[in-house]
Amino acid sequence: MGDREGAAGRAGEGPGNGRPVLAVTVGDPCGIGPEIVLRALPDERLAGVARLLVLGDEAHLRKVARDLRLRWPFVSVVREPPAGRRWERPQLLDLGNVPGDLLPGQVSAAAGKAAGETIERAVALAREGVVDGLVTGPIHKEALSLAGYTDPGHTEMLARLTGTKQVGMMFWAPSLAVGLLTTHLSLREAIRKVRRARVVRMLRLFDREWRRFFGDAPRIAVAGLNPHAGERGRFGVEELEELVPAIEEAGERGVAASGPWPADTVFQRALGGEFDLVLALYHDQGTIPVKLACGHEAVNVTVGLPFVRTSVDHGTAMDIAGKGVASPESLVAAIRAAARLVGPPGA
């Protein structure tokens, strides 16, 4: 994996304890987002990592804290971002946008509207330089749709709000990193996107962003689409017609890419240190091995944005929302990863 862990570990260290400022959104107020935020913030693993500004609704969060008997973790509640970067404990930016009659596990336009507004405010703070990066809680796509948002997911919404033409989804953990060629598409549609030009674009994007985050060129393995990576056309032609030419073209452009490798072994090879990143061709091809191998250590990173954005690697879990059993582990990992990727202010 090269010096990925070392580079990440050095991030955030700077003169004057210059910890980055991160905005943390609670996600859908009716999902597990509010409770995992409340559970994560007192975690000692976050001490000294970053200065956190949580965006949410004070009344709603206080109700969740009371109902689940959770400690209130905020040093203060503000209506505007605090000046300076010297607070120690997390602060809450109260948006006051969650109706009092919403219930845990409820899918509604009101909850989707609150989640969407929170994301919009967080992006505005990042673009204004008030915060150095974003850590986002899980959103519910149906609730967002009911509220009038047409974005398929977080990644697409962030791209639209920032005017970014090309973004990518990377799942990062200390032992494994996976980039996705396609994200929220049906398998039929994803296969149609396995085309030379798209593969070249995504290889160059992940190469550029890896260098930005970690300072060195990644060794990228491209996963095959078909069994045994097509076995020279016997089980499919996409490898020969699209992937091999794309890898060769990317190599001519300075990207250290190889493959296509059989998808049933390439992730194990990456875990063994042979590759820094695997380019998976469709959503579940990449996310299943990450979640199996890395569990809550895995963090969703949006590459290509003008700021760092990480997220939990799970959804709203409406079925357990409000029951007090949701784990904050992925959110803790997402906050720690964002602080590492941002690095010290001004670096």
Q: What percent of the chain has pLDDT over 70?
A: 93
Q: Is the pLDDT of residue 242 over 80?
A: yes
Mean pLDDT of the residues in the chain:
90
Lowest mean pLDDT among 5-19, 127-141, 208-222, 302-316: 5-19
Q: How confident is the model at residue 250 (pLDDT cuts 50, 70, 90)?
A: very high
The predicted pLDDT at position 39 comes to 95
The predicted pLDDT at position 344 comes to 53
Q: How confident is the model at residue 8 (pLDDT cuts 50, 70, 90)?
A: very low
Question: How far is the C-alpha of 327 from the C-alpha of 330, rounded, in Å?
Answer: 8
Nearest Cα to Cα of residue 238 among 195, 279, 199, 267: 195
Lowest mean pLDDT among 76-80, 180-184, 189-193, 343-347: 343-347
Q: Is the pLDDT of residue 1 over 60?
A: no
